[in-house]
Amino acid sequence: MKRIFVTGIHQESNSFNSLKSTYEDFIITKGGALRQMPGVKVLIDAGYEVVESIWARAVPGGTLKFDDYMRLVDEMLEPLINDTKGFDGVFLLLHGALDVEYIGSGETYVAARIREYVGPNIPISAALDMHANNMYTLAKACNIMYGYRTAPHIDVVETHIRAAELLIRALKENVLPQTRILRIPYIMPGENFMTASGLGKVVIDMIPTIEEEVGVWCSSYFVGMTWIDCPQNGAAIVVSGLGDMDAGMDKAEEIAQFVWDNREGFKYQGNAVEPLEGIDFVKKHHGDGLIVISDSADNITAGGAGDNAYVLDLFLKNEIKNALFCCIVDPITVKKCETHQVGDVINIEIGAAFDANSTKVTLTGATIKALTLDVTVDKSRSVVLSYKGIDILLFDKRKPVFSEETLNENGLTRHDYNVLVVKQGYLEPEFNEAANHQAMLYTTGNVDQRVERLPFKKLRRPMYPVDDIAKIPLDRLFEKS
């Protein structure tokens, strides 16, 4: 029976967030739970002996600390290092935008380590997120790379299954595919590339046509993860298959040219406004169904710190009532509330727990509405404060809120409010559907939508729109491996 080694690590990093990620941020899936994951199950059902290690997954966050990453790598590689029978294939469940202190791409390092153990003649297949920043070195280590084709990501299962099926194909045909990358010198926020409509959909619909070309097994479009300061950041088309796949790469170049020619057309398709315009928007629609406001530059789902009380400050100054902030991450304030009880009236500061550039507000006479302090390890401790007609859900750990279920866990429901303020960019499906009016605010912070405002140092240059278009060599726009 052929043997397949399975492991993975999944976190989207934001290197502009000063709060580094640690081992404790990761939830480990292993054993039966990992074997039940759709891609892994495909391998088992096809009759392969799966030797699984761990799949480590965390909410997007700051750059992962080096020692914590190495501890995860040791756990990931342990069954491989101790193995004596040898493997026929490797299946990796990755993100592609994990940034690790000192070494950069966490996926590339671990894939290279695995390649050393299994040797050059064993196929490695990797499933990736659409917001991966793929290194040439990762493409060298992986025979097959395949990424999501939807944003928001509703095809995770299909992607894992297809990456597994392509590994099976390589094993059955006894061949070693290769992966090539075409890079476009273009970074954009994920918000500008949604796949249900608009230019994002046009591009994604073109990507499968690459697979009609000789030798091409799969093709993927990667938007990139903008908020990582690394050379490999940016849009890319990745193609895996047999032979030189030159015809497929030519087609990829045509699509890349389309992206480049339309670079100014990729825009957030929802309503996006400056913060003060957002206040006018809320006032205008207040009382007409649910309004959902996203504080985009503090977007926890893109690795933001989640600790900025800037929008809360604006709401208070403008006396907006009947709003719920879900959430603001503030372990200091949650800790201070520990000694209190529901109903207590306190004076307290909120905000800037991690990021010195975040806004802090002082509440004089806030009422504690709910306390959830006795929780299991993977849940956040929370406090709900009421102040001048606004409720604020505070967490001690970074955790995005995009469902009524999470609100219910904290004794809240969206039905009690006219306005929800979330730490997101584009809205996840549930709140998107619930909202009668919505606006994304162009706030400033470590998930700034205005990418040209970000303090890049390691990004490869020139890069649009960080650099002036005059500096970009139009006769050799694209890089190809």
Q: Binding residues for Zn ion, per CB under 5 A? A: 129, 131
Report the residue number, 204 or 384, with the smaller CB distance to Zn ion.
Answer: 204
Report the residue number, 106 or 241, with the smaller CB distance to Zn ion.
Answer: 106
Q: State the minimum distance, in angstroms, from the CB of residue 131 to Zn ion.
A: 4
In terms of residues, how long is the chain? 481
Determine contact, residues 256/248, Cβ cutoff 8 Å: no
DSSP letters, 387-404, are: ETTEEEEEESS-----SH
Which stretches of 196-351 are assigned E, i.e. beta strand?
Answer: 216-222, 236-241, 272-273, 291-295, 323-329, 345-350
DSSP state of 2: -
Determine contact, residues 123/106, Cβ cutoff 8 Å: no
Q: State the minimum distance, in angstroms, from the CB of residue 153 to Zn ion.
A: 6
DSSP state of 19: S
Which stretches of 130-265 are assigned E, i.e. beta strand?
Answer: 144-147, 178-183, 216-222, 236-241
Structure tokens at 141: 């280590």
Phi and psi torsions of 298, nearest 5°: -120, 30
Q: State the minimum distance, in angstroms, from the CB of residue 382 to Zn ion.
A: 26
Q: Give 241's strand partners.
A: 178, 216
Q: State the minimum distance, in angstroms, from the CB of residue 49 to Zn ion.
A: 32
Report the residue number, 131 or 423, with the smaller CB distance to Zn ion.
Answer: 131
Residue 79 burial class via C-beta count within 10 angstroms: exposed 0-12, middle 13-18, buried 19 and up = middle
In three-state secondary structure terms, 136 is helix
Report the residue number, 131 or 149, with the smaller CB distance to Zn ion.
Answer: 131
Report the residue number, 129 or 213, with the smaller CB distance to Zn ion.
Answer: 129
Q: State the minimum distance, in angstroms, from the CB of residue 63 to Zn ion.
A: 17
Report the residue number, 149 or 381, with the smaller CB distance to Zn ion.
Answer: 149
Contacting residues for 306 by C-beta, under 8 A, at least 6 apart: 298, 300, 327, 328, 329, 395, 398, 399, 400, 423
Task: Return the residue matching tokens 């997101």.
Answer: 424
Q: How far apart are CA 136 and CA 133, in angstroms?
A: 10
Report the residue number, 39 or 248, with the smaller CB distance to Zn ion.
Answer: 39
Report the residue number, 81 or 154, with the smaller CB distance to Zn ion.
Answer: 154
Task: Return the residue matching tokens 């809205």.
Answer: 427
Determine contact, residues 175/242, Cβ cutoff 8 Å: yes
Q: State the minimum distance, in angstroms, from the CB of residue 222 to Zn ion.
A: 10
Report the residue number, 131 or 183, with the smaller CB distance to Zn ion.
Answer: 131
Which stretches of 252-360 are assigned E, i.e. beta strand?
Answer: 272-273, 291-295, 323-329, 345-350
Report the residue number, 154 or 214, with the smaller CB distance to Zn ion.
Answer: 154
Q: State the minimum distance, in angstroms, from the CB of residue 462 to Zn ion.
A: 25
Q: State the minimum distance, in angstroms, from the CB of residue 366 to Zn ion.
A: 36
Q: State the minimum distance, in angstroms, from the CB of residue 187 to Zn ion.
A: 15
DSSP letters, 77-119, are: HHHHHT-SS--SEEEEEE-S--EETTTEEHHHHHHHHHHHHH-
Q: State the minimum distance, in angstroms, from the CB of residue 361 to Zn ion.
A: 31
Q: State the minimum distance, in angstroms, from the CB of residue 13 to Zn ion.
A: 12
Report the residue number, 129 or 295, with the smaller CB distance to Zn ion.
Answer: 129
C-beta neighbour count of 115 within 10 angstroms: 17
Q: Which residue is nearest to Zn ion (CB)?
A: 131
Q: How far apart are CA 245 and CA 179, in angstroms?
A: 9
